[in-house]
């Protein structure tokens, strides 16, 4: 089997879908690997390291893709990039299908079999393949570092002969993977941390990290499927907003992480809440790429409000940690691919009835096959 990796073309994308480490594993499964020159450069993986691992480095994407039966990618590729791949080639990566159904349909018509790794079910055997968790972990960490730099004051309590500097107060909204890592990182930096989530089960995890869990009595639990939160009722939204408003005004740093799969990010922080914060306060909106949790967020920008609050709305935060993010992403992909190879004979065969395959395959035989993806008329 020929496996191809090309340089990512999306603006701001620094990650790569294979590292020298994972190339060795892919070759060990009996494959050949072709990678476009410079594909790993922004993630600090030079061509020479790929060659040392056994890959063929090509001068162009077309050369790498030509005849490939498997294509590994970070972002959804274009029809033009996939030209020349084998008919029915497996294209595995983050496909971002919601709102991009026409692009998915165009790729389906090329005959490619698209596999959306972000649809990987949250079950025990799939944990090692979960790109959302691996990348969110890094985003939570980086979000706190970005906040600490913009805050321009000390995070921990400082006791000196000249007096004591109080610790920063950090409020994390959403206690999923990104939120929990943000809590842990802020605690390591010495901040006083509090957090909220609409899922009652998150409270124990928050407190285990040494943070204070805040949840309104009016909201008993809003756990949904797959470990995500369900959408709140209007009454629940009002109660949560009231709690948030009273707490945010006392915080130095707010980090928002709330996402609902397939929908725009829920708005959690209003303009009035931002205006209640003190000058020099910082908000990091880790949901900026999906529209943001903060009413005033400008995706892709860092802004300062008239009352002196900095709102950081970086998109694709994991790409700010390109090396680490690529290492984890590439391992996720290899772990999934390994389920398709016989360990003894190294024969390749996709079990289309496997629950992991059924959950992630978007297109097959020229059509969209995933039940959640509908092409709008």
Which of 9, 44, 102, 122 is flagged as catalytic?
Answer: 122
Is 130 annotated as catalytic?
yes
SS3 of residue 269 by DSSP: strand
Give the whole-angstrom CA distance, residue 240 versus residue 266. 12
Which of 76, 130, 285, 324 is flagged as catalytic?
Answer: 130
Q: How far is CA 152 from CA 145, 146, 307, in A?
A: 11, 11, 16
Strand order, beta sheet including 212-214? 212-214, 192-196, 169-173, 253-256, 282-285, 310-312, 302-304
Tell me the average pLDDT of the chain: 93
Given a cut of 90, is residue 149 above it in pLDDT?
yes
1-5, 215-219, 260-264, 285-289: segment of lowest average pLDDT: 215-219
pLDDT tens-digit readout, 328-369:
999 999 999 999 998 888 899 999 999 999 999 999 999 999
Give the whole-angstrom CA distance, residue 118 versus residue 95. 8
* Global pTM value: 0.92
Give the whole-angstrom CA distance, residue 35 versus residue 18. 9
pLDDT at position 226 is 54
Percentage of the chain surpassing pLDDT 70?
A: 94
pLDDT tens-digit readout, 291-308:
999 999 999 999 999 999
Give the whole-angstrom CA distance, residue 297 versus residue 310. 10
Is 228 annotated as catalytic?
yes
pLDDT at position 232 is 63
Which of 133, 194, 240, 326 is flagged as catalytic?
Answer: 133
Percentage of the chain surpassing pLDDT 90?
A: 85
For 334, list phi and psi in degrees, rounded to 5: -65, -40
Helices (H), the chain: 20-28, 47-53, 61-65, 79-82, 101-108, 131-151, 177-188, 202-208, 234-248, 271-275, 322-338, 355-360
Give the whole-angstrom CA distance, residue 5 versus residue 16. 8
- Give the domains, in start order, of the chain with CATH numbers: 2-129+322-368 (3.40.50.720), 139-320 (3.40.50.720)
Which of 125, 127, 153, 208 is flagged as catalytic?
Answer: 127
For 188, list phi and psi in degrees, rounded to 5: -65, -30
């Amino acid at each position: 089997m020929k496996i191809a990796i090309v340089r990512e073309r999306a603006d701001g994308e620094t990650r790569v879908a294979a590292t020298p480490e994972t190339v060795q594993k892919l070759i060990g499964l009996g494959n050949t690997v072709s990678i476009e020159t410079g594909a790993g450069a922004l993630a600090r993986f030079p061509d020479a390291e790929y060659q040392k691992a056994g890959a063929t480095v090509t001068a162009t994407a077309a050369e790498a893709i030509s005849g490939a039966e498997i294509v590994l990618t970070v972002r959804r590729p274009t029809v033009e990039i996939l030209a020349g791949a084998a008919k029915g080639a497996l294209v595995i990566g983050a496909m971002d299908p919601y709102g991009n159904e026409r692009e998915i349909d165009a790729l389906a018509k090329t005959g490619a079999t698209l596999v959306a790794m972000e649809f990987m079910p949250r079950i025990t055997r799939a944990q090692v393949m979960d790109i959302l968790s691996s990348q969110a972990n890094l985003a939570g960490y980086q979000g706190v570092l970005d906040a600490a730099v913009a805050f321009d004051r000390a995070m921990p309590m400082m006791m000196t002969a000249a007096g004591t500097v109080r610790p920063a107060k950090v409020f994390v909204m959403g206690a999923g993977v990104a939120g929990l890592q943000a809590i842990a990182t802020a605690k390591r930096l010495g901040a006083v941390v509090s957090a909220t989530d609409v899922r009652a089960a998150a409270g124990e995890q928050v407190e285990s990290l040494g943070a204070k869990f805040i949840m309104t009595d009016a909201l008993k639990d809003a756990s949904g499927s797959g470990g995500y939160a369900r959408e709140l009722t209007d009454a629940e939204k009002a109660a949560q907003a009231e709690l948030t408003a009273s707490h945010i005004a006392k915080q130095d740093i707010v980090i928002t992480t709330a996402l609902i799969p397939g929908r725009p990010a829920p708005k959690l922080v209003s303009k009035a809440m931002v205006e209640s914060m003190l000058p020099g306060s910082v908000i990091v909106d880790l949901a900026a790429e999906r529209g943001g949790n903060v009413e005033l967020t400008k995706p892709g920008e860092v802004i300062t409000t008239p009352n002196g609050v900095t709102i950081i709305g970086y998109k694709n935060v994991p790409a700010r940690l390109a090396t680490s993010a690529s290492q984890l992403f590439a391992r996720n992909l290899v772990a999934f691919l390994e389920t398709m190879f016989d360990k003894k004979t190294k024969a390749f065969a996709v079990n289309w009835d496997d629950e992991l395959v059924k959950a992630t395959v978007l297109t097959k035989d020229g059509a969209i096959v995933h039940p959640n993806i509908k092409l709008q008329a």
